[in-house]
Amino acid sequence: MRKGLVPGEQVITITRPQPRKLAGPAAAFIAAPAAAAFASAWTLRGGATRAVPVITAEWTPWIVLACAAAAAWIWLGYCLPRLLRWQGTRYILTSRRIVARNGMVRRRDDQVNLGSVRNVTVHQSVLQRILRSGNISLETGYQSIFTIQDVPDVARFRDFVLDAVAELPEGRDPDTDELLNNAEDALPWELREGGHDER
């Protein structure tokens, strides 16, 4: 992220979504091989043959292989994609903007200049309140809303956003974050054109 910063911009915090959505994949990651091992052992002990007489002993290796394949499919088709989706999502707050970055191979960046933010709203479900996470909606001056989902420690992140907005120099264009022509007087004298007093 630091390579994409403009001069004077600083990273305040970087976070990922609340990992509660990984609870299901984590449970499946543990349960799938356990169930496959149990089913394989039951088959090897002759349980499948006793339960379904049509199944003979020649079927046993294929049933064991099917159990292993099912566990691998759950790992690769369910657990891994959700882990990579969570791992590839980042919320980056800088002194100028908020960036929601999604994806590892195919990346998507959504960003809002802090100078255009007019209102910051936090929405929480009951579960999110328990986990201290929530959704943050940023209202801009264009009657549009930019929402970032499942932000961990949402109250603290909101305070960071409000502090960053409050510390923006006055007289910036919300579209481009550039100084307006009449905003030179809003800058400290060291940053004004010339940078020093001529005596």
Of 42, 69, 87, which closes a domain? Answer: 87
Are 74 and 95 found together in one domain? no
Q: Do the domain assignments include residue 2?
A: no
If asked whether residues 173 and 95 sit together in one domain, one would say yes
pLDDT of residue 107: 84
Same domain as 124, residue 78: no
- Assess whether 95 and 175 both reside in one domain: yes
Question: Do 171 and 83 share a domain, yes or no?
Answer: no
Residues contacting residue 169 through CB under 8 Å, at least 6 positions apart? 179, 183, 186, 187
Total-model pTM: 0.71
- For residues 31 and 76, membership in a common domain is answered with yes
Reported as a single tens digit per residue, the pLDDT across 39-62 is: 888 878 777 777 777 777 777 888
Domain count, the chain: 2
Q: What does the alpha-carbon distance between residue 46 and residue 147 come to, in Å, rounded to a whole number? A: 55
pLDDT for 33 equals: 94
Same domain, 125 and 96: yes
The confidence score (pLDDT) of residue 103 equals: 83
Mean pLDDT of the residues in the chain: 82
Question: Please, where are the H alpha helices in 80-133?
Answer: 80-87, 126-131
Residues 101 and 14 grouped into a single domain: yes
Last residue of a domain, one of 62, 87, 112: 87
109 and 13, same domain (yes or no): yes
Tell me the residue range of the domain where 95 lies: 9-18+91-180
Gap between the Cα atoms of 115 and 151, Å rounded: 21
Q: How confident is the model at residue 3 (pLDDT cuts 50, 70, 90)?
A: low
Angle at 134 between CA 131 and CA 139, to 5 degrees: 165
pLDDT at residue 127 in the model:
92
Beta bridge partners of 111: 99
Predicted confidence band of residue 192 (pLDDT cuts 50, 70, 90): very low
Q: With contact defined as beta carbons under 8 Å apart, do 15 and 152 qualify?
A: yes
- Are 66 and 96 part of one and the same domain? no
Q: Residue 99: pLDDT above 80?
A: yes
In percent, how much of the chain has pLDDT > 70?
Answer: 81
Supply the angle between the helices 23-44 and 80-87 in degrees, to the nearest 10. 160
Are 105 and 13 contained in the same domain? Answer: yes
- 114/47 same-domain check: no
* pLDDT, tens only, 69-81: 999 999 999 999 9
What confidence tens digit (pLDDT) does each residue in 4-50 have?
677 888 899 999 999 988 999 999 999 999 999 998 888 787 777 77
CA distances from 154 to 20, 54, 76, 162, 169 (A): 14, 58, 31, 12, 25
In a domain, 187, yes or no: no
